[in-house]
Amino acid sequence: MKTQYVHPRLILGSSSLYRRELLERLKLPFETVNPAIDETPWLNEKPEDTACRLAETKARAIASQFSDALIITADQVAVLEGVQLGKPLNHANALKQLQFMRGKEVVFHTALCLLNSRSNRLQMRRIPYTVKFRELSDQQIEGYLAKEQPYHCAGSAKSEGLGIALIERMSGDDPNALIGLPLIALVDMLMEEKVAVL
């Protein structure tokens, strides 16, 4: 029996330019909505659990506004030696993060959520990606921060930009996860909802 594909309303719950650019690669029409939630980690919450909770919270916040849509959300946290590295938000915090990360392996946990607001069916995946940072001097870190100012990126580095020069090696199942939207997993999820990507 032939699969019946659907063309639902797709909403990306994010204000991130990079996530929007990634989703555009799938050539599907979509809208963007800023979920505007409190992203503060809970006390004693594991970083990977924070990412999943926030991705789901974003999706449910948007579902309250759209009753018949597929809502795509994601959240990312970086972890080094058990310490969660969030968005630095300013130069001083970014400098401290990158000094802490130099010469070490950092795991970026990206949680991806797809919520069907009509059926309330929720799919969730967590995609880890490991990044080994170069042994950087303070001068190199300052030079990078002056040029890119990655103050709204978990871990203070944009691998899709000049941040790639900070990295010695990377490993994981989907390089898009590091940028913030794991497209390989998303295609699987969309297919589960009978959305034809190809």
Could you give the CA distance from residue 47 to residue 126 in angstroms, rounded to a whole number? 11
CA 24 and chain centroid, separation? 15
pLDDT computed for residue 6 by the predictor: 63
Please measure the distance between the N-terminal and C-terminal CA atoms of the chain and give it in whole angstroms: 19
Could you give the CA distance from residue 89 to residue 47 in angstroms, rounded to a whole number? 18
Annotated catalytic residue within 75, 173, 174, 188: 75
pLDDT computed for residue 65 by the predictor: 93
Could you give the CA distance from residue 115 to residue 72 in angstroms, rounded to a whole number? 7
Q: Any idea where the domains of the chain sit in the sequence?
A: 9-192
pLDDT computed for residue 4 by the predictor: 58
Q: Active-site residue 188, yes or no?
A: no
pLDDT computed for residue 110 by the predictor: 94
pLDDT computed for residue 159 by the predictor: 85
- Residue 94's contacts (CB-CB under 8 Å, 6 or more residues apart) are 88, 145, 150, 151, 156
What are the E-state strand segments in the chain? 10-13, 31-33, 70-80, 83-85, 105-116, 121-133, 167-172
pLDDT computed for residue 5 by the predictor: 57
Q: What is the CATH number of domain 9-192?
A: 3.90.950.10
CA 132 and chain centroid, separation? 18
From first to last of the 198 residues of the chain, give the pLDDT tens digit: 555 556 789 999 998 888 999 999 999 999 999 998 888 878 888 888 999 999 999 999 999 999 999 999 999 988 999 888 888 999 999 999 999 999 999 999 999 999 999 999 999 999 999 999 999 999 999 999 999 999 988 888 888 889 999 999 999 999 899 989 999 999 999 999 999 888
pLDDT computed for residue 56 by the predictor: 97
